[in-house]
Structure 1
Amino acid sequence: MKILLIQHLYFLNGIGGTEKICSILANILSANGYEVEIATNENVVGKPVFTLAKSVRVTNIYDVNLEQKEEIPLYNYKGRNPFLWIKYKIEKKYAKWYNRRLIRRMGGEDKLYQYNLRNRAIAWKRYIDQLRPNLIVTMSIGSLLEITYKNNISVPILDSVNGRPDYDYSNVLGGRKSYLVDLLTMSFSKLDGVQILFDSYREFLPDNFAGECRVITNPIEEVSDTDLVQHSNEKSRFKIVHIGRLDTACKQQHIAIDIFSNLVEKYPTWDLEFWGIGNDVERLKLQILELGLSKRIFLRGFTDDPIAKMKDADIFIFPSKYEGFGLALAEAMSVGLPSIGFATCSGVNELIKHGENGFLANDKMEMEHYLERLMNDSALRQQMGTAGNKMMRKYSLDSMAAGWLGLIHDVINKKSYG
C-alpha cells in the first residue's frame, strides 16, 4: 500500500518541528510495510535534514515552466550609501507600480492568488494521478489547499495539524486575507481525518470538518533518571538556553533578551544562549549589541544535536506567543530542565504545569520573577526538572506510531466499506 506525505514548502533544508515530524511519520509508516513518498514543491536545491529510512522516497515537483504571475518584492534599503538609496528607491517605486498594474489586470489580489494556486493544484493533480497513492497525508492545511483546490481527489486524505487548528485557517494571529481564510476553511471539507496534538484542540476545528479526529502527540525520546541534568553539581558558570527558529513574531526571543538584560549585573555567572537560525537573526544581533551584552548573550546558530545543548544548560526559557506543541520545550523538559513560558501560549500551557515542572507567566514581569527564582534555587531546578522528565515519558514514539497506524487503518476501511 502506497502512502504519500505532502509538505508543499520548506521540507528541503527545513529544520523545524513540521519537517521533523514528517520525517518521523514517514519512517514509522515505512517500518510498518507501507511504501512511502514525501512530496514538496519548492524552488530550492537541497535535501531533507532529518534522517529518513532508505526506502522513503522524496520528490520535489517544482517546475520552472509552471506559469506563476508574481508580484515584485518590495525592499527597504537600510544602508547609508546615497547612490544605493536612490537606486533602491527607484526600484521600489517601479515594483509598486508593477504590482498595482498586475493586480488590476488579474481582477484583484484574490484572483491573482487563485490563478497561481490553480496552476499549482493542476501540477499536483497530475503528479498524484501518476503516483496513484492509496492515502495522502498533508502536513498542513496549506498543503491540503495546494493539492485540492478545484481538484477531485478520490483517495482518502488525512491532515497532520502541527499547531492549534484555528491557526491554520483563521486570522486569529493576524495578517491573513479574508479570501485566504475562506479557501483554507473550505479545505477542511475535503478531509477524511485529522490528527491533533491535544484533546483541547478539538474545539478549534471548523464546523465543516466531518471526518475522524484523533489525538496523536509528538514523540519525545525518553531520558533515564541517571542521564538527567544534575542541578546540584558545582560549576563556575550557568546557562539559560532557548532552542528554536529565530522568529520574533512567534518565538519572541527579544523578550528573553530584555528580561535577561535586567538580571545580568545581579547574576554575573549566568549567560543566555540561543540555538537556531531564522529571519530575525540580524534584529537579535543588533539588540544584543545595543545592550552591550555580546559577552553574556550568544546566538550560536544551527545545531544538529539540540539534546546535547540542553543537557549543558540549567534553565529553558520559551517566551513564544503561540505554539502547536512546543517540541523543543518538551525535549528540554525530558532532559530535566525546568522551563518558563507564557500562560497564554497554546501548547506551552499544555506541557508546563505551573509550579510542578516549570512556571507559566502572565506577562514579561512575571517571567522575569520566575526566572530569578530558578536562578537562585538549584534544589527547585532539580525538583522541577525531575517532574518534567516524568511528565514527558507519555509522549513516546510507540504511542505516536500506534495512533497513526490506527487512524490510517480506520480511515481506509471506512472509505472502502462506508
Structure 2
Amino acid sequence: MKILFVQHKGFINGSGGTEKICSFLANKLSDLGHTMVIATNENVDGKPVFPLNDNVLVTNIFDENISQIEPKKTYNYKGFNPVKWVSYKIEKKLTKRENKSLIKKNGGLDEIFKLNLQNRSKAWKSYIDSLNPDIIVTMSISSLLEITFGNEYQIPIVNSTNGRPDYDYSDILWHRSPFEMDLLKNAYQKLSGIQILFESYKDFLPNTYYGKSNVIPNPVPQCLDNKLVNHKISKNKYKIINIASLATDCKQQHLAIESFAAVSGKFPNWELHFFGVGNDFNFLNEKIKQLNLQDKIFLNGFTETPVSELRDSDIFIFPSKYEGFPLALTEAMSVGLPSLGFVTCSGVNELIKHEENGFLAKDTDELTIYLEKLMQDAELRHNLGQNAHVVMKKYTPETISIEWEHFLKSFVS
C-alpha cells in the first residue's frame, strides 16, 4: 500500500506525542513493506525530531503564494516584572486594534477562517491527486478538515485520534468559534474509519460520525525485567521526574513544583527534574527562583534519551489537566516507576490504577500527600512500580503496528 500520513502542522521540529506516533507508525509500516509518505503544510525551517527510515518521504507542501489573511498574535506576559507587564499590556492593546480593523475589512473571523482554509485545501487536493495514495491517515480532525474542505476523494481516509475525541471538535480545551466546531464535526462524515485510544473514548465521538472505529492504543517501549528501576538500593540523591512540553495550561508543571516545595524541607536528598521545552520555561524558572529552590528543582530541556532519564529516577509526577494516551507516562510505568496524576485527567485516569501502580489525586493537596507517601517509602515505590511495568507489557510496539496494518488493510480492496 502507498500510505499518506497528513499532519498539517506541528510535524516539523515537533517533539510531542502526535509527532512521535506519526514517526513510529511510518517507520513500522515501512518495515512491513508499505510505501510511506508524511505530508505537512508549515511555514518553518527544520526537520522531523524523531528518527525516520530512509525510505519514509516527508513532504512540506507550503507555498507562500497560497493566499492567507493572518491577524497578528497577541501574548500575555507570565513573568513577574511589573515594567514588562505594562509593556506587554500596551503592545497587546495596539495589536488588538490593528486586528479589529483587519477582521472588519474581511467580513469577520469566520469568513477569514473559511477563505484561508479554502485556499489551503485546494493546495492539498492538488498534492493528493498527484500522489494518488491507496489510503490517507490524518493525525487529527483538524488535518482531516484541511484536506477535505470543499473536496471529495475516492481514497479512504482514516483518522488517528491522539486525544479524547471531543477535544478535537469542541471548545473544551481552548476557544473555537461555533462555525469552526461545526466544520470539524461535519468533517467526520468524510472518514471511512477512526482509531481511538481507549474503549471509553467511543462515547465522545460526535453524532456526525458513521464509520468504523477501532481501539488501538499507543505503543510503549518495553523495558526488560532485569533493567527496571531498583527502588531497594540506597542513593545519595533521589529524583522525581516529569517529561512533557512546558505548557502549563495543559501539563501543569507549576503544580508539581508547588507539591514538591511543600515537602522538600523534609527530604534534603530529593530533587525534582523536568525534561521538555515550551513557551512556559521562563514562567516556571521564575517560580523556582521565587521559592529559592534552584538547587533542588531543574529545568533540563529536551532529552533524546527519555528512557535513560526515567531509569535514573524514582517517582514520575504527571499533573496534566488532560491527555490522550500519554507516552511519557507509559514509558515511566514500563521502567518500573510509580506515577502520580489527577483523577480528572483523561488518559492518565485510564492508565494509573489508584493504589495499584500509582496514585490519582483529586487536587494539589492530595497530590502533595501522595508524593510525600512515595518519597518516604521505598517498598511502596517498588511494589507500585513493578505493577506498572507488568501492565505496560500489553502495549508492545510490534503488537500495535500489526493492529494498525490490519485496520488500514480493511479499507483497501
**Do the two structures share a fold, i.e. TM-score over 0.5?**
yes
In 2, Cα distance between the equivalents of 1:33 and 1:130?
22
Partner of 2:299: 299
The structural deviation recorded for 1:139 is 0.5
In 1, Cα distance between the equivalents of 2:333 and 2:299?
21
Unaligned runs of 5+ in 2: none
In 1, Cα distance between the equivalents of 2:364 and 2:76?
31
In 1, Cα distance between the equivalents of 2:203 and 2:54?
39
Paired letter, 2:213: C
Partner of 1:394: 394
2:240 aligned counterpart, secondary structure: strand
Question: Deviation string for 1:62-113 (max 9, x for gaps)?
Answer: 111111111122356787779x977994x65553333112211221111111
The question of 1:70 aligning with 2:70 is answered yes
The structural deviation recorded for 1:199 is 0.7
In 1, Cα distance between the equivalents of 2:96 and 2:312?
49
Partner of 1:349: 349
Question: Deviation string for 1:254-300 (max 9, x for gaps)?
Answer: 00001111011111111100000011111100110111111110000
Partner of 1:279: 279
The structural deviation recorded for 1:175 is 1.9
In 2, Cα distance between the equivalents of 1:92 and 1:166?
31
Partner of 1:416: none
Paired letter, 1:287: K
Paired letter, 1:126: S
2:263 aligned counterpart, secondary structure: coil
Rate the CA distance shift 1:98–1:270 in 2: closer, same or farther, 3 A.
same
In 1, Cα distance between the equivalents of 2:165 and 2:89?
40
Partner of 1:221: 221
The question of 1:180 aligning with 2:197 is answered no
The structural deviation recorded for 1:384 is 0.6
The answer (yes or no) to whether the contact 1:212–1:411 under 8 Å persists in 2 is no
The question of 1:241 aligning with 2:237 is answered no
In 2, Cα distance between the equivalents of 1:371 and 1:296?
15
Question: Deviation string for 1:189-232 (max 9, x for gaps)?
Answer: 11000111111101110111111111111111111211000001
Paired letter, 1:27: N
Paired letter, 2:143: S
The answer (yes or no) to whether the contact 1:214–1:403 under 8 Å persists in 2 is no
The structural deviation recorded for 1:402 is 1.9
Give the alignment's TM-score, normalised by structure 2: 0.96
Rate the CA distance shift 1:29–1:76 in 2: closer, same or farther, 3 A.
closer
Paired letter, 2:347: G
Partner of 2:21: 21
2:158 aligned counterpart, secondary structure: strand
The answer (yes or no) to whether the contact 1:125–1:151 under 8 Å persists in 2 is yes
Partner of 2:132: 132
The percentage of counterpart residues that share the same residue type is: 52
Higher mean alpha-carbon deviation, 313-322 vs 102-111, is at: 102-111
In 2, Cα distance between the equivalents of 1:80 and 1:386?
48
In 2, Cα distance between the equivalents of 1:20 and 1:253?
21
Question: Deviation string for 1:288-344 (max 9, x for gaps)?
Answer: 011111111000001000000000100000000000001100000000100010011
The answer (yes or no) to whether the contact 2:17–2:327 under 8 Å persists in 1 is yes
Partner of 1:43: 43
The structural deviation recorded for 1:178 is 1.4
In 2, Cα distance between the equivalents of 1:15 and 1:125?
27
In 2, Cα distance between the equivalents of 1:316 and 1:73?
35
The answer (yes or no) to whether the contact 1:307–1:332 under 8 Å persists in 2 is yes
Partner of 1:101: 101
Rate the CA distance shift 1:348–1:31 in 2: closer, same or farther, 3 A.
same
In 2, Cα distance between the equivalents of 1:247 and 1:76?
14
Paired letter, 1:297: I
Partner of 1:412: 412
In 2, Cα distance between the equivalents of 1:370 and 1:282?
28
Partner of 2:114: 114
Rate the CA distance shift 1:239–1:184 in 2: closer, same or farther, 3 A.
same
In 1, Cα distance between the equivalents of 2:73 and 2:172?
25
Rate the CA distance shift 1:279–1:130 in 2: closer, same or farther, 3 A.
same
Higher mean alpha-carbon deviation, 361-370 vs 168-177, is at: 168-177
Rate the CA distance shift 1:100–1:325 in 2: closer, same or farther, 3 A.
same
Paired letter, 1:226: N
Rate the CA distance shift 1:111–1:252 in 2: closer, same or farther, 3 A.
same
2:345 aligned counterpart, secondary structure: coil
Partner of 2:202: 202
Query: RMSD between aligned alpha carbons?
Result: 1.7
Give the alignment's TM-score, normalised by structure 1: 0.95
The structural deviation recorded for 1:371 is 0.7
Partner of 2:331: 331
Paired letter, 2:335: V
Count, aligned residues? 411
The answer (yes or no) to whether the contact 2:76–2:88 under 8 Å persists in 1 is no
Paired letter, 2:39: A
In 1, Cα distance between the equivalents of 2:72 and 2:221?
44
Partner of 1:156: 156
Question: Deviation string for 1:356-413 (max 9, x for gaps)?
Answer: 1101111111111111111111011011111100000000112211211111111223
